[in-house]
Amino acid sequence: MNPDNSLLGIRGFLIDAPEFGRLRSWSDGALIIDGAHIVEVGDYASLARKPREQPVRWRHSPRSAVFPGLIDLHAHIPQYPAVGRGGGELLPWLRQHVFPLEREFTGPKGRREAGAFFSELARHGTTTAMLYTAIYEDSCEAAFHAAAASGLRVIMGQMMTDVGSYGQLQPTKIASILNHESERLCRAWHGAADGLIEYAFSPRFAVACSERLLRAVAKLAAESGAYIQTHLAENLEEIEKVRNQFPAARDYTDVYEMCGLLTARTVLGHCLHLSEREIGALAAAGAGVAHCPTANLFLRSGLFPLEKMRAAGLRIGLGSGVGTGPELNLWQVMRSAIETQKARSFYEADALVPTPGAALHMATQGAAETLGKGAVIGSFEVGKEADLTIMDYAALLPYRQSAKPVNDLSGEDLTSLCIHRGGPHAVVETFVRGRSIFRAPEPELF
Ligand SMILES: [Zn+2]
């Protein structure tokens, strides 16, 4: 609540994507926010004239572009320092670049890095993130403290892996210890910070987990109501290993299915190489998918079959895939989602090339629905919580074009501009639940 009982008015070029492919915009629009919630949406001229009992503190200008806060469904905090390194495929890349970093993500160094990550998200206009930490309880705990202090909406969990952990033959931790620690972290943090913080049980992937661990995760998640996140069918060598490790399973998805991990609160990263049966099993369980196109191109893992996944009715959102994905910038992830399908369209007649509105949907409302939060965040509806990212779009135009009127841009043009040139250099302010969690210094005009 605002101490003076005033309302917050955000003025700008409002754009959201309430449905896949449907863009909605108000070229000189406004949001009226009362505490945490959006209470009015519309044209600035009519909202500014409207008589109200409470005063409105107006912020920003028609020169800002206002989008729903961006939602990142997949990133690993300990891997962030390794982004952009190496050019191999998944399993060698993990051994060479990631495991050494994750092994060190404990003690003072791990705790310091865990704390620094969240301001990076807010600076990129990300308001909700689903994250993995490492296998250590101390750095995971530190990450939760930092997440709560940041004001972001965060779903996160301790990495769980008990087979060949971190490239070594002997596991660093056995399943029972991991289960105990994750259960304790979940009890301490699931629903913390007035519900902004939630827990996700986070087994790395079937290759690195015993059946015992996976079954325990299903039980812990069911008991607590927490999320589950893991990886599925990212890379062909990974799939082959799963086939050898779990000979009784029909396929990779069946490993998770038989252990009880496929639920409506499960988000599966990547999902590139799935059979019709597997896609059907995900859909039947209501599981969500984190599509990570920059990550999939970086490690040459594969090209996401968007039209097949959508046709099955799966809920799909985008993930930066950091550290496999080289950056937290979800505008670049949207661009990559479009370009991935453009590339497929040369040989796949049914490829579904997302419009800018469809890409924005996957980074906002679609991702919110993937998390089961479609009625709470993701678009500009009255009654939703006010998670927003505000961009200075003059910063994205060639020569900034700051002196020129920009009202010749349509909502589609402006979204496309953000997708192809957007990033933290243009983010002016980020809000979660009506509260500013990042504000850039005033932009220089020339
Ligand atoms: Zn990942």
pLDDT in tens, 176-220: 888 999 999 999 999 999 999 999 999 999 999 999 999 999 999
List the Cα angle 312/316/318 in 5-degree steps.
Answer: 150
3-state secondary structure of 173: coil
**What's the Cα-to-Cα distance from 12 to each of 58, 247, 407, 445, rounded to whole Å?**
11, 56, 11, 18
Strand pairing report for 22-34 and 37-43: antiparallel
Query: 77-81, 247-251, 327-331, 398-402: which has the minimum mean pLDDT?
Result: 398-402
User: DSSP per residue over 36-75, as a string?
Assistant: TEEEEEEEHHHHHHS--SS-EEEE--TTEEEEEPEEEEEE
Give residue 193 CA to ligand 1 midpoint distance, Å. 25
Residue 168 confidence (pLDDT): 62
User: CA-CA distance, 361 to 338, in Å (whole number)?
Assistant: 12
Q: Ligand 1 mean position to 270 CA, how many Å?
A: 8
| 58 Rama class: left (phi>0) / alpha (psi -120 to 50) / beta | beta
Give Rg (Cα) of the chain. 21
Architecture of domain 70-370: Alpha-Beta Barrel (3.20)
Cα 45 to averaged position of ligand 1 atoms, centre (Å): 45
Predicted confidence band at 115 (pLDDT cuts at 50, 70, 90)?
Answer: confident
Q: In degrees, to the nearest 5, what angle opens at C-alpha 109 toward C-alphas 104 and 115?
A: 115
Ligand 1 mean position, distance from CA 385 (Å): 28
Residue 174 scores a pLDDT above 60: yes
| Res 446: pLDDT | 45
Mean pLDDT score of the chain: 93
Dump strand ranges (E) for 262-314.
266-270, 288-291
HSE of 187, CA atoms in CB hemisphere, 13 A: 8
Tokens standing for residue 10: 């955000």
Compute the distance between CA of residue 171 and CA of residue 155 in angstroms, rounded to an integer: 26
Measured in Å, residue 160 CA sits from the centre of ligand 1 at 13
How many CA atoms, within 13 angstroms, populate the side-chain half-sphere of residue 51? 0
| 72 CA from centroid of ligand 1 (Å) | 12
- Structure token pair of residue 281: 């099993």
Q: Is the pLDDT of residue 234 over 50?
A: yes
pLDDT in tens, 46-102: 999 999 999 999 998 888 999 999 999 999 999 999 899 887 899 889 888 888 888
Does the structure show a pLDDT above 70 at 1? no
pLDDT digits (tens, 9 = 90+) for 369-421: 999 999 999 999 999 999 999 999 888 988 766 645 556 789 999 999 999 99
CB-based contacts of 138: which residues, under 8 Å, 6+ apart? 106, 107, 110, 111
Superfamily for domain range 7-68+380-439: Urease, subunit C, domain 1 (2.30.40.10)
For residue 413, which amino acid is it? D
Cα 35 to ligand 1 centre (Å):
35
**Residue range 295-317: average pLDDT?**
97
Cβ atoms 395, 64 nearer than 8 A: no
For ligand 1, the distance from its centroid to the CA atom of residue 126, given in whole angstroms, is 18
Residue partners of 387: CB distance under 8 A and separation at least 6: 68, 69, 127, 128, 153, 377, 431, 432, 433
CA 99 / ligand 1 centre spacing (Å): 13
Q: How far is the CA of 416 from the centre of ligand 1 (A)?
A: 27
* pTM of this structure: 0.96
Output 303 or 399, whichever has higher pLDDT: 303
Q: Taking 50 as the threshold, does the pLDDT of residue 108 lie above it?
A: yes
- Calculate mean pLDDT across residues 330-336: 98
Residues with CB under 5 A from ligand 1 (ion): 269
Express as a percent the part of the chain with pLDDT over 70. Answer: 95
Q: How far is the CA of 90 from the centre of ligand 1 (A)?
A: 10
For 18, the 3-state DSSP assignment is strand
Evaluate if residue 166 carries a pLDDT over 70.
no
Q: Do domains 7-68+380-439 and 70-370 have the same CATH topology?
A: no
What does the domain layout of the chain look like in residue ranges?
Answer: 7-68+380-439, 70-370
User: With contact defined as beta carbons under 8 Å apart, do 17 and 29 qualify?
Assistant: no
Closest CA to 263 of 305, 220, 318, 320: 220
Whole-angstrom distance, CA of residue 51 vs CA of residue 42: 15
Q: How far is the CA of 135 from the centre of ligand 1 (A)?
A: 14
Distance between Cα 351 and ligand 1 center (Å): 25
pLDDT at residue number 194: 98
Distance 341 CA to ligand 1 centre (A): 21
Q: How far is CA 141 from CA 106, 107, 189, in A?
A: 10, 11, 9
- pLDDT band of residue 167 (cuts 50, 70, 90) is low
CA 260 – CA 399 distance, rounded (Å)? 54
Where residue 285 falls (left for φ over 0; alpha for ψ -120 to 50; beta otherwise) is: alpha
Q: Which of 107-111, 153-157, 274-278, 366-370 has the lowest mean pLDDT?
A: 107-111
From ligand 1's centre to the CA of 227, what distance in Å? 16
